[in-house]
Chain A
Amino acid sequence: MIEAHPASGNTLNTHPVLSARDLRRAYGSTLALDGVNLDIRAGESVAIMGPSGSGKSTLLHTLAGIERPDFGSVLLSTSAATPRDIATLGEKERSKLRRESFGFVFQSGLLIPELTAVENVMMALMINGVPRAAAQEQATQWLGALGLAGMEERRIGQLSGGQAQRVAIARAQVTGARVTFADEPTGALDSATGAEVLSILLNSTVGRGNTLIMVTHDADVAAQCDRVIHLRDGRILAQVAATQGASTQRSAAGDTN
C-alpha cells in the first residue's frame, strides 16, 4: 500500500524518525496490532484515530518502546546515530530511551501528587542526571513559557485539569524530547481548555521542529495534525493528510493522497 509507506525522498529533509514494519501484537486471542506499517517523519504531527479497542494505545506504546511487539520492528533514527530497532532493546535500554529521547502526555497527566508543579517537571531532568539547581531553573522557564508562572510551588491537586496537563507538557518537553507521544491528552478536558492545551502541545513540539504522535477520539483535534491515521481491528485503514489547521510551513510534510 503506497499510502502506508510514503516513498522516501518524497520531501527533502524529512527522513523517517520512526519506522514501523509489520507490527503484530496479540493479547490472548485478540489481535491488538495486525501487521501495521508506518513511517513518521521528523517534525511531523500525526493523529491516530479509530474506534475503542482498535489498538491505538497499543500502537502508541509499541512505537514508544513501552510495550514490545510479538513480531515486527520499530526503527528509531534520531540525529546522526545509526537507526536502532526499539522492538529488540531490553527493558532497561527502552526505559533509558523513553526518558532521554521521548516525551509523554497521557490523559491523566501521571503527575506525582506529592511533588509541586516545578518538582514534577524537574524530575524529568533529574532522572537524566541534570543537577537539581539547573533542573529547577529550566523547569521554571518551561512552566513560565506555558503560562504557569507563579504556580511553580503548587501541588498537583491545587491545579485545574488544564493547568495540570500543561505541567505534563512541560515535563514532556523540558528534556528536549525529539518525539512526543500523547494518548488522548485532551480527553479529560472541556472543549475550550482542550483546544488551549492542544495548541500549547503543538507549539512546543512540532513548533520547535520535533515530532508529535497523538491518539485522539476528537476529529477536530485530529484535524490540527499534519496527518491522520485510522485504525480498525489492529490494521491501518487509511491515512489522510489533514485538510485544515496544519500550519503552512508544516503542510509540506503532509502525505498527498
Chain B
Amino acid sequence: MRTLSLAWLLGKPSRGRRGPLLLTAGAYTLVCALVLIVTAGALSFDRVQNELTGMYQVLAALAVVLLVVPLAVLGAAAARLSARSQDTRLSTVRLLGGTPGLVVGITMLESAATALAGALGGVLLYAAMAPAVGLVHFQGSAIGSAMWLDPRIIALVIAGVVLVAALSGAVGLRKIIVSPLGVRNRTVTPKPRWIRAVVVLGLIICISLVFSVIGSVASLAIMVGVLLTGFAMGIGALNLVGPWAVALIGKAKLKKAKSPAQLLAARMILENPAQAWRQVSGIAMTAFVAVVGGSGAALMNSTGTGMDPNSPDALLATDVMTGVLLTIAVSFISVACSTAITQAAATLDRADLYAGLHKLGMEPAVMERARVGSVMAPVIGMGIGSIIVSAALVFPLAGMAIIFAPLSVAVILLTLVVGVLAVRGAVAMTPVSQTLAH
C-alpha cells in the first residue's frame, strides 16, 4: 500500500521527466505494434497451402528470429531510460530511509504502468497500420484480413511487453539498491578482449560447416533446425565480435582525431564499446540479412524472368525480396528508435557537463558534433564492415547478384542508406542545445 501511494506521489510526471516518460512509452508503443505486425505477417503464410508452404514458414521464422534482437534492444533501451529518469528521485527515497524492497516496488510499478500505456497505444497503432500493411502482397495476393490477430494473441503480447518492462526496470536499478549514492558513481566497464576474436573465428568455422551440410539434408524439419542453429551462432558471433570491433573503430578514430569534436567522439566510443555496439548491433545484423537474403532473392528473381509470374517458384522469389525489404525496414525502425532513446538518456545524463562546457566557452556545435560522431562512426563503420564480411561469406552468391540483378542490389543498398539516414535523424532528436536552453 505504501509502495502504491509513494509510486503515485513520485510518479506524477514533473516537467523534466515528461520527455523521457513519453519517449519510453512511445518506444513500448512501437515495440508492441511491430511485434503484432510481424506476428500477424508470419502467421499469414498459412493462407495458401502448396508444396512451398513449409519453405515460407521457415523464412517467416527466420525473419522473426532476426527481428527479435533489434526489438529486444529497443525494449531494453526503453527500460533503461525509464529506470534512469527515476534514478534521482529513487536515490532520494533511499537516502530518506526507503528500503530496497520499496524502491524496487516503485520502479516496477512505474515501468509496468508506462509499458502498459505504451502497449495499449501499440495495439491502436497496429490496428491503424494493419489495413496498410495488409496491402502487401505475399503468395500472389494481399495479406488483407489475415493481418487481424486473435485477441488472445494480442493480450499475450501486451502481457509480455509489460512483464519484460517491469523486470528490466528492476534489473536496471541494482545500482541504487546497492548504495543510495550508487548511481552517482559511474563504474568503469571492462574492455573487450582479443580472446573473443578466437571464439568468433571458431564460431564462423562452425557456421560455414553447418551451412555446407544444408544441401545434403533431406528432411525440412532438420533443415529448419540447421538454418536456425546457423543463424543463432551467427548472431552470437556478431555479439562477441561487435564490442571489440567497435573499440577498434574508436581507437582508429582516436589516433586520427584532429579536432576537439573528433577527439571527444572517439573517447565517447571507447568509454563503453559494449553500449556503442548495442546501438549498432541491429545495423550489423540488418546489413547481414540484406546482403545474404537480398542476393539470394535478387538471383531468384533474375533466373525466374522467363517463368510464369504466378507459378509458386516465381512468387517465392518475389516474396523473399518483399520479406527481406520488410525485415530491413522493421529492423531499422527499431534501431532508429532505440538510438533516439539511448541518446535521450545519454543527453539527460550529461546535461550538467554540457552546460559546464558551454560556460567554459565550448560551442554547443562542437559538443553536438562529438555526440553525433560517437554514434554515427560505429554505425557507418559497422554497417560497411558487415556488408563486406557478409558479402565475403556468401561471395559467389553476392557476386552473381551484382552481375545478374544489379537493380535489386541497388534497391537493397538504397534501403540500407535510408536506414542509416533514419538513425541519423533519430540522433538529431535530442540535441545538446536542448539541455542548454532555459
A interface residue numbers (CB < 8 A to B): 61, 64, 66, 92, 95-100, 102, 104, 106, 108, 110, 112-115, 119, 122-124, 126-127, 131-132, 155, 157, 171
Q: A97-B361, A104-B360, A132-B263 are in contact. Are A110 and B353 (CB under 8 A)?
A: yes
Task: Specify which chain B residues have a CB less than 8 angstroms from the CB of A113 in the assembled complex.
Answer: 186, 271, 353
A157 CB → nearest B CB, Å: 7
In the bound complex, residues from chain B placing their C-beta under 8 Å from that of A119 are 263, 267
Which residues of chain B come closer than 8 Å to A102, judged between CB atoms? 361
Q: Could you say which of A106, A114, A119, A155 has the most chain B C-beta atoms within 10 Å of its C-beta?
A: A114
Indicate whether A115 sits within 8 Å of B267 (C-beta atoms), given known contacts A98-B359, A124-B360.
Answer: yes
Question: How far apart are A137's CB and chain B's nearest CB, in angstroms?
Answer: 15
A-B contact count (CB 8 A): 67
User: In the complex, are the beta carbons of A98 and B264 less than 8 A apart?
Assistant: no
Enumerate the 3 nearest inter-chain pairs by beta-carbon distance, A residue then B residue, closest first: A99-B361, A98-B361, A110-B356
Q: How far is the CA of A104 from the CA of B119 in the complex (A)?
A: 48
Contact B257 A132 (CB under 8 A): yes
Give min CB distance, A163 to chain B, whole Å: 17
Selected contact of B263 from candidates A98, A99, A110, A126, CB within 8 Å: A126
Q: Among A99, A127, A131, A157, which residue has the most Cβ atoms of chain B within 10 A?
A: A127
Instruction: Identify the interface centre among B258, B260, B270, B357: most chain A CB within 10 Å of its CB.
Output: B260
A123 touches B186 (CB 8 A): no
**Closest Cβ of chain A: how far from B51's Cβ, in Å?**
58
> A232 to B188, alpha carbons, bound, how many Å?
44
CA distance A132 to B267 in the complex (A): 15
B403 to chain A, nearest CB (A): 45
* Docked CA distance A171–B259 (Å): 17
Q: Is B366 an interface residue (CB 8 A)?
A: yes
Quick check: B361 and A114 within 8 Å, CB to CB? no
Q: Chain B residues near A123 (CB, 8 Å)? A: 260, 263-264, 362
CB proximity of B206 to chain A, nearest CB, Å:
37
Q: Mark B232-273, 1 if CB is under 8 A from A, else 0.
A: 000000000000000000000000011110011001101100
Please determine whether A114 and B360 come into contact, CB atoms closer than 8 angstroms: no
Q: CB of B196 within 8 A of chain A?
A: no
26 pairs, A vs B, C-beta closer than 8 Å: A92-B363, A95-B363, A98-B359, A99-B360, A102-B361, A108-B356, A110-B357, A110-B360, A112-B264, A112-B267, A112-B357, A113-B353, A114-B268, A114-B271, A115-B264, A119-B263, A119-B267, A122-B263, A123-B260, A123-B264, A124-B360, A126-B259, A126-B263, A127-B363, A132-B263, A171-B360
Contact of B358 with A by CB under 8 A: yes
Tell me whether A126 and B260 are in contact (CB under 8 A). yes
